[in-house]
Structure 1
Amino acid sequence: MPRKSLILSTSLFVAVASSILLPGVLSSAHAGSGCPAATTTITSNQELASALADATPGSVISIADGNYNGDWVATASGTPARPIWLCGSANAMLTNDGYSGGYGLHLNGAAYWHLYGFSVSNAQKGVVADAVTGVVIENLKVYDTGDEAIHLRENSARNTVTGNVIHDTGNRREKFGEGVYVGSSDANWGILTNGQPDHSDFNVISNNTIYNTTAESIDAKEGTVGGLITSNRFDGAGLTEEGGDSWVDVKGNDWMVTENTGTNSRGDGFQTHHRDRTKDGLGDWGLRNTFSANTAEVQGPGYGFYIHDPSTTENVVACDNQVANAGLGYANTACAPTT
């Protein structure tokens, strides 16, 4: 049966996520601290390629303003105490041959990186992080991509995506134009995670501004567990029929979605979807997610909150959310009072 009992107040709600469900993510990653003094300053494609290849714990790579077009991949890892920094202003632009090119930046098994301040554009995908932990993606501008802007996948856990400005995605394929994509579809587990659920768990998606995406602003896939989506701002005016019909779609389990603000949707504001793979031994997904203290100015035909299979999935929509101009009303399930 759905949980209709009292849920945590918003302040305690976020504290639980950061200190219990997400140990070490916000503190050890130094989110919000700015960029340290550079150990290497790069001004050319060749220098950037060398700096990425030669990075060691504690390296601080500063990108001078300019356009850097190439296949940018990092594989070295930092440590919790000595992350590797890649920094630049918004005028330092990483690209990769346009909407049908490669990734703007690929962290391939590269743990404990801190990306700060620069721009990523004109690539098929913006920033892709595979099999990483302790990564912070902060204050970037990621836009004009063929598919999604930022993607955490292949069991990438305990990372933070914060303070980024994301827009104009899905220029190659509207269906894949998410702003922030966490995990992977179960249809791709055979390719990406040896047929097992993509446990891109305990990630924090916070304080991002996301607009003009063809698909969801944030898509948390089946297989993911225990993440936090908080204090983001969404405008869904760019959502398309092929792309998406909500700002946030949670298909994972035990996510907390709180204090976000959205406007304009071609469907609902926030959604969950139930994906039962227990017959295959791959879990039951879309369960026990909680939505609290969000503001949904839907300006669309659906609900503020749509819960798939509400009678069996134990998802909670708190009564402290604010919903306006939703054609079907507040939610398709009774709201839960808060303490």
Structure 2
Amino acid sequence: MRTLRAVAVTAAVALLGAAVPYLTSTAAHAAAPVLRVTVTQVSVWATGYGADVTITNTGDAPATGWTVAFDLPTGTTVSSSWSSVRAQSGQRYSFTNVSWNGTVNPGASQTFGFNAAGIGTPAGCTVNGASCTGGPGPSPSASPSASASPSPSPSASPSGPPPSSPPPPGGPVVDVATAAQLSSALSSALPGTTIRLAAGTYRGAFATTRPGTADARITLTGPRTAILINDGPSGTAPSCPAPTAGWDSGYGLWLFGAPYWNLTGFTVAESKKGIVLDDSRHVTISGVYVHHIEDEGVHFRRSSADGIIRDSVIEYTGLVQPGYGEGVYLGSAGSNWACHGNSGGVDRSDRVQVLSNRIGPYVAAEHIDIKEGTFDGVIRGNTFDGRGISGQNSADSWIDAKGIGYVIENNTGTFAAPGTFVNGYETHNPATTPSFQNGCGNVWRANSSNLGGVGQYAIRITSTSKCAGNLNVVYASNTVANATAGLTNIAVTP
């Protein structure tokens, strides 16, 4: 038997990607949180839209909890939400933080998201009871009912768009409820297709080589209770991983040469690897739950550039090979470029954004491993729970940054036993052919680190001499608690 393995939007906001900022009104005093709420419509279709909500603290004291509330006009409802606890009283909705995204430190952000059935936009927005636009809050009669039913428990993963969500325009909708139906839908998907998973367990080898386009993305969506499991691997593997007849990779979901996909809401569990992207650019992963995986949780590989993973939960990885159980893996080690180096001999999984995820506990290797030869990614607003880091294969930090030009900001990391922990963030400078200034030019801002009395530095820079002309930068906005050595081993930039 195999081992278990993102409020307020005005009526003027109608365009995809539109964002509206709000600033809370607070009394003048020496130290106080000031919360700014930005809502971005990340998808719009004929009968609804999806929105990400970012709550940023521009004040000088932490906010220890938040509730965003608004009214929707009759005919529009919130069909799903994630990374928050939702309550409703009539047409007024409130969204309260869950356990892992309630603290918003100065300069940091937290996020949640929702989908709307209907095209009506919110009104009467408040954050923590104060008007988002700076005026008075709504009358008490308009506030959410304390007895309203919340959304499902936040202790598990955030829920993405459910199968009943209206599809985006531009292609057919395929509803699936069995593993065979899912395999068929993945193998025949056309640009614009939406594959909707019903709740249930899907066991099999789920892979696709079907590309979407920038104007007609392919979507695989389902509730958290739609669970993909691969009981493989089996058969004889090719010399380099590629979908091959008679071989089951063991991957929970595999996109190979399949750009422009959306993966939202569902769960991947009990597989050799969780979600693997090979040569699959512009893929967005949102609100998924990946857990109990033998090796790494999510891997952007073979130049799977310009991807996003956001508002997702990854935990319990590396159950069989602890040193290889990364939460999110960006690129490939130089020693693997012979297989995965499809861009001038290099795996250029560049510009990947890792946003507002919870990674850990019991991620046995690094929570995010940024491999050599990758450039210009963004690691922002994530929560790292270091319990269970194994220490095997030098896996002893939340992030190992061997890439170039990454922005690492507004993340919160903690460590507590059990586990082996040395530093919160580390850099390394492996030599590669072709040659890059690996592990250089990265920037840390406004990260909050609690090293549990065990870790040495929040941010340890391995070398400055190897980064001449492209130094790593650690800003004074980073904070550390319970470190045996301090914030960082290099000079701090104001």
Partner of 2:354: 205
Which amino acid is the alignment partner of residue 326 of structure 1?
Answer: A
> C-alpha displacement at 1:87, in angstroms?
0.6
Q: Distance in 1 between matches of 2:284 and 2:459?
A: 29
Tell whether 2:441 aligns with 1:288: yes
Match of 2:312 among 164, 173, 185: 164
Q: Distance in 2 between matches of 1:330 and 1:126?
A: 33
Q: Distance in 2 between matches of 1:131 and 1:202?
A: 14
Task: Report if aligned partners of 2:429, 2:466 keep a CA contact under 8 Å in 1.
Answer: no
Which amino acid is the alignment partner of residue 218 of structure 2?
Answer: I
> C-alpha displacement at 1:98, in angstroms?
6.2
Where 2:392 maps in the other structure, the secondary structure is: coil
Q: Distance in 1 between matches of 2:254 and 2:448?
A: 33
The structure-2 alpha-carbon separation of the partners of 1:145 and 1:59, relative to structure 1 and needing over 3 Å to count, comes to same
Match of 1:228 among 375, 378, 381: 378
Partner of 2:426: 271
Tell whether 2:282 aligns with 1:129: no
Where 2:183 maps in the other structure, the secondary structure is: helix
Partner of 1:75: 209
Partner of 1:326: 483
Q: Distance in 2 between matches of 1:281 and 1:158?
A: 22
Where 1:120 maps in the other structure, the secondary structure is: strand
Q: Distance in 2 between matches of 1:116 and 1:262?
A: 25
Unaligned runs of 5+ in 2: 1-40, 45-49, 53-113, 116-160, 168-172, 235-248
Q: Distance in 2 between matches of 1:28 and 1:274?
A: 39
Tell whether 2:459 aligns with 1:305: yes
Q: Distance in 2 between matches of 1:163 and 1:62?
A: 19
Q: Distance in 2 between matches of 1:52 and 1:281?
A: 36
Partner of 1:193: 341
Task: Report if aligned partners of 1:86, 1:115 keep a CA contact under 8 Å in 2.
Answer: yes
Unaligned runs of 5+ in 1: 1-25
> C-alpha displacement at 1:276, in angstroms?
2.8
> C-alpha displacement at 1:334, in angstroms?
0.9
Partner of 1:241: 391
Q: Distance in 2 between matches of 1:138 and 1:240?
A: 27
Q: Distance in 2 between matches of 1:27 and 1:284?
A: 35
Give per-residue Cα distances to partners, 1:214-241, cap 9 Å, x unaligned: 0011111001000000000001111012
> C-alpha displacement at 1:55, in angstroms?
0.7
Task: Report if aligned partners of 1:99, 1:145 keep a CA contact under 8 Å in 2.
Answer: no
Of the structure 1 ranges 78-87 and 201-210, higher mean CA displacement relative to structure 2 is found in: 78-87
Partner of 1:86: 220
Match of 2:193 among 53, 59, 63: 59
Where 1:330 maps in the other structure, the secondary structure is: strand
Task: Report if aligned partners of 1:78, 1:113 keep a CA contact under 8 Å in 2.
Answer: yes
Q: Percent identity?
A: 38
Q: Distance in 2 between matches of 1:269 and 1:31?
A: 32
Task: Report if aligned partners of 1:237, 1:266 keep a CA contact under 8 Å in 2.
Answer: no
Give per-residue Cα distances to partners, 1:159-185, cap 9 Å, x unaligned: 101011000000110011000000000
Where 2:184 maps in the other structure, the secondary structure is: helix
Task: Report if aligned partners of 1:99, 1:146 keep a CA contact under 8 Å in 2.
Answer: no
Bigger helix fraction: 1
Which amino acid is the alignment partner of residue 381 of structure 2?
Answer: S
Larger Rg: 2
CA-based RMSD of the aligned residues comes to 2.0
Match of 1:154 among 284, 302, 320: 302
Q: Distance in 1 between matches of 2:207 and 2:307?
A: 18
Tell whether 2:270 aligns with 1:115: no
Q: Distance in 1 between matches of 2:257 and 2:288?
A: 20
> C-alpha displacement at 1:53, in angstroms?
1.1
Of the structure 1 ranges 159-168 and 101-110, higher mean CA displacement relative to structure 2 is found in: 101-110
Which amino acid is the alignment partner of residue 271 of structure 1?
Answer: E
Task: Report if aligned partners of 2:446, 2:477 keep a CA contact under 8 Å in 1.
Answer: yes
> C-alpha displacement at 1:45, in angstroms?
1.1
Q: Distance in 2 between matches of 1:76 and 1:57?
A: 8
The higher-RCO structure (CA 8 Å, 6+ apart) is 1
Which amino acid is the alignment partner of residue 268 of structure 1?
Answer: N
The structure-2 alpha-carbon separation of the partners of 1:43 and 1:27, relative to structure 1 and needing over 3 Å to count, comes to closer
Q: Distance in 2 between matches of 1:297 and 1:223?
A: 30
Q: Distance in 2 between matches of 1:205 and 1:251?
A: 16
Task: Report if aligned partners of 2:424, 2:455 keep a CA contact under 8 Å in 1.
Answer: no
Partner of 2:20: none
The structure-2 alpha-carbon separation of the partners of 1:80 and 1:27, relative to structure 1 and needing over 3 Å to count, comes to farther
Partner of 2:254: 106
Which amino acid is the alignment partner of residue 114 of structure 1?
Answer: N
Q: Distance in 2 between matches of 1:58 and 1:105?
A: 19
Q: Distance in 1 between matches of 2:332 and 2:297?
A: 14
Which amino acid is the alignment partner of residue 181 of structure 1?
Answer: Y
Which amino acid is the alignment partner of residue 259 of structure 1?
Answer: N
The structure-2 alpha-carbon separation of the partners of 1:316 and 1:144, relative to structure 1 and needing over 3 Å to count, comes to same
The structure-2 alpha-carbon separation of the partners of 1:31 and 1:215, relative to structure 1 and needing over 3 Å to count, comes to farther
Partner of 1:43: 177
Task: Report if aligned partners of 1:196, 1:282 keep a CA contact under 8 Å in 2.
Answer: no
Calculate the TM-score normalised by the size of structure 2. Answer: 0.60
Where 2:451 maps in the other structure, the secondary structure is: strand
Q: Distance in 2 between matches of 1:250 and 1:293?
A: 17
